[in-house]
Amino acid sequence: MRVPSKTIQLDGKFVMHRGGYLASPNVAYETWGKLEGRGDNAVIIFTGLSPSAHAASSPENPSAGWWEDMIGSGLPLDTDRYFVICVNSLGSCFGSTGAADVNPETGGIYRTTYPVLTLEDVAEAGYEVVKALSLERVHTTIGCSMGGMTALAFCVRHPELGGNMLSISSSARALPFSIAIRSLQREMIVKDLKWDGGNYDLEDPPVIGQRLARKLGMMTYRSPREWEQRFGRERISMEMHSDEQFFGDFAVECYLENHANKFTGQFDANCYLYLSRASDLFDLAEHGGSLEAGFSKLNLDRSMVVGVETDLLFPIHQQRELANGLSNVVEDTELVELGCIKGHDSFLVDMDAFRPVIGRFLS
């Protein structure tokens, strides 16, 4: 996953939204297609919690990206027409400076000395990329999952860029069920003795806590209905634990175990803690004192909100709340409620449902 992205290094102190600063941090990004004018055809993507900037393959990196079927010639994010930018979130561990990186002022790894991270900071790091590319305007800002909240922060703080906004399976702020899920995931990690107050051995990280957190993640990324159709009460013989009597009979248990195995070692534990907490902290209402005030700061030509009925993490009523708020300030606003059964992750795995909708918004 540690792919070579383009990177800019910021000059001097990058002051954080809730205090503190980063000394000359890096921001990683990738681009596809050819820029026209000062951003007339620029599409900027803010990602969910875990992806890198490698959203699609490119001559420099031919491996498949996390949105490979969405970005390219003839695809909804048509690289014959658009200049597509994907930014690796500040605080992440795929090129942008995060808690796993060295603080140049101390020579040590940031770990828990990294300042409180917010999605406003992630958005500002994206804005630094916009500046570095000399853009004066953005055609469309896209945000998926956590990235949808980052996109809101970005558009609220930079109305001068104008353009359109596309929010996918996101919300205007986190609600208590999602906060509780993420809080418990973080607790699983910090209660792993190997986390050691954030000072874990990088070769021996708190894998047990990370695996538990990943499994809970999968439960909220997919949907009960999908698993019912896919697994039912199917049994599989698999040695999951030394204590077989309590585990491993059911196909769904093996599925989660395999997913945890695949994910292990891919994401730094401290970076995860910071980004997870940032997702809890975001609230559009903090931009002006109320949701309405926050929405009123937007300067968009068009907006679209796409959500999925089976999403547990960003439920469909939050899509409606977001679309309602947008429609009060952006005349051309559309809400699309998709009946996909694969839950929150549908935008990554149910391309047949998402491609036509996103293609229509960008056509």
Can you give the binding site for its own copies, defined by CB under 8 A?
Answer: 112, 116, 173-177, 179-181, 183-184, 186-188, 190-191, 193, 197-198, 208, 212, 215-216, 219, 223-224, 227-228, 230-233, 241-243, 245-247, 249-253, 256, 273-274, 276-277, 280-281, 283, 312, 315
Q: Which is nearer to its own copies, 3 or 238 (CB)?
A: 238
Q: Which is nearer to its own copies, 161 or 313 (CB)?
A: 313
264: left (phi over 0), alpha (psi -120 to 50) or beta: beta
Q: Which is nearer to its own copies, 12 or 197 (CB)?
A: 197
Q: Which is nearer to its own copies, 247 or 263 (CB)?
A: 247
C-beta separation of 314 from 144 below 8 A: no
Q: Which is nearer to its own copies, 86 or 212 (CB)?
A: 212
Determine whether 145 is an active site residue: yes
CB of 209 to its own copies, least distance (A): 8
DSSP run (H or E) holding 156? helix 146-157
> Which residues fall within 8 angstroms of residue 5, CB to CB, at 6 or more apart?
28, 29, 30, 52, 53, 54, 88, 94, 95
CB of 339 to its own copies, least distance (A): 16
How many residues appear in the chain?
363
Determine whether 344 is an active site residue: yes
107: left (phi over 0), alpha (psi -120 to 50) or beta: left
In degrees, rounded to 5, the angle at the alpha carbon of residue 242 between the alpha carbons of residues 241 and 244 is 70
- Side-chain half-sphere of 358: how many Cα atoms within 13 Å? 29
In degrees, rounded to 5, the angle at the alpha carbon of residue 171 between the alpha carbons of residues 169 and 172 is 160
Catalytic hit among 92, 101, 344, 345: 344
Catalytic hit among 145, 167, 169, 346: 145
CB of 291 to its own copies, least distance (A): 11
CB of 55 to its own copies, least distance (A): 28
Determine whether 287 is an active site residue: no
C-alpha–C-alpha distance, residues 72 and 306, integer Å: 21
Catalytic hit among 101, 268, 311, 345: 311
C-beta separation of 44 from 166 below 8 A: no
CB of 227 to its own copies, least distance (A): 4
CA distances from 11 to 23, 102, 114, 340 (A): 8, 16, 18, 45
C-beta separation of 341 from 223 below 8 A: yes
Q: Which is nearer to its own copies, 64 or 193 (CB)?
A: 193
C-alpha–C-alpha distance, residues 53 and 45, integer Å: 9
CB of 72 to its own copies, least distance (A): 35
**Residues labelled as active-site residues:** 145, 311, 344
